[in-house]
Amino acid sequence: MSKHTKPEKSWMMYDMANSAYSVVITTAIFPIYYKAVANEAGVSAADSTAYLGYTISIATFILAMLGPILGSVADFKDMKRKFFTFFFLLGSLSTIGLVLVPEDQWLLLLIIYTLTAIGARGANLFYDAYLVDVTERDKMDDLSAKGFAVGYIGSVIPFILSISVIILSQQEILPLSVGNASKIAFLITAIWWILFTIPLLKNVRQKHWIERKPRIVANSFKELKKTFLEIKQHKAILLFLIAYFFYIDGVGTIISMSTAYGTDVGLGTTDLIVALLAVQVVAAPFAMLFGRLARKFGAKQMIYVGIFIYIIVCVYAMFLDTVVDFWILAMLVASAQGGIQALSRSFFAQMVPKEKSNSFFGFYNVFGRFAAVSGPFLVGGMTQLTGNSAYGVFSLVILFIIGFIILLFVPDPRKEQTA
């Protein structure tokens, strides 16, 4: 990272901060802890998985509705930092709040989890929009991919710390119940999140903005309308957002519900946790590889590669039968997970006006978050309908195929620059 500027390094550090939340809370320990709490309360495995999916959908729906409005306000001078800080604090402090929920209150646990999700995803909206402030257009693909790679590598540390506490409690080396050990993992995550957000708050500033006007709320709605009209006029941006809506839906759903699915098909906690740790380690070099290949072939082509890998994942999930099958599935996800997200972010950032990045990323957030509403509902509904989680995962294949087809019609901004 030595060749990067201080703002670039600080921006990448936040990927390390929020990736701890993504791994420990969204993907690994919280779903397992929640499933155990719900099971003790008499909730069936299929229903608890469905309720988790519905909860994720509610959180993302709320943020999707607020995203464009908040983005248009954040385009004004000095506002991006304020919104980022608010959502970061909401997410990190609510994560601490998970520690305080009694172990028999599965519904309250989901409510607090909703707040953590709104905070984390709200902060990510403005974090993504900061990309245009910290680097130049020709470095966006590489920096975005490296950010994801740093996040994967950095998140391994709080993950290992958290898992160590849980294992030591299981072995009765630590005088803790597994439930209390899980709560310590939530606390470790919150502290890590706060610690590695400090460099961004200290060193990253909004460089592109619209000058503030007296009636900031009223004017933000005017800017929102202008942005909406600009998106309608720019066919390439609109088509990309529609394609993104579909394929990122599948990506996000697989990330957020993978451990719940693994539990339903009979995998043990140890197998799940070791596989998730391996995914973090393997995903880091693949994210960087996607960034480097994007410099040669273009971000759009590498997004195609990521979508194709996820189609294979959805189909293979139907035949998952052994621990080896799950490992193969996990490594396939690891090879594409970081790259497709990183290059989608940088591909979009290259298409939008820098001074209105928050407004445009607000709509980017809408398409991504509304997508995240439908995906978990699709998995939850199909799982309840069939009684088999495999059919729920397989149903996501249609989202990747639609996204792939629509992306074919999106012009490559890199080619337009050289034309």
| pLDDT per residue rounded down to tens, the chain (419 residues) | 558 889 999 999 999 999 899 888 887 789 888 888 888 888 887 788 788 878 877 887 787 777 777 766 766 677 788 889 999 999 999 999 999 999 888 889 999 999 999 999 889 888 888 887 888 877 888 888 888 888 888 888 998 999 899 889 888 888 888 889 999 999 999 999 999 999 999 998 877 656 655 555 555 566 566 666 767 777 888 899 899 989 998 888 887 667 666 776 677 767 777 777 888 888 889 998 998 899 888 889 999 999 999 999 999 888 877 777 878 888 999 999 889 988 998 898 888 777 666 677 777 777 776 656 677 778 778 877 887 777 878 889 989 999 999 999 998 776 655 44
CA nearest to 192, candidates 91, 112, 67, 291: 91
Q: What is the pLDDT of residue 374?
A: 75
CB crowding 347-383: b at 16 or more within 10 Å, else e: bbbbbbeeebbbbbbbbbbbbbbbbbbbbbbbbbebb
Give yes or no for a contact between 196 and 10, defined as CB atoms under 8 angstroms apart: no
Query: Which domains does the chain show, CATH number per domain?
Result: 6-204+215-414 (1.20.1250.20)
Phi, psi of 166 (to 5 degrees): -65, -45
Question: How many CA atoms does the CB half-sphere of 47 hold within 13 Å?
Answer: 9
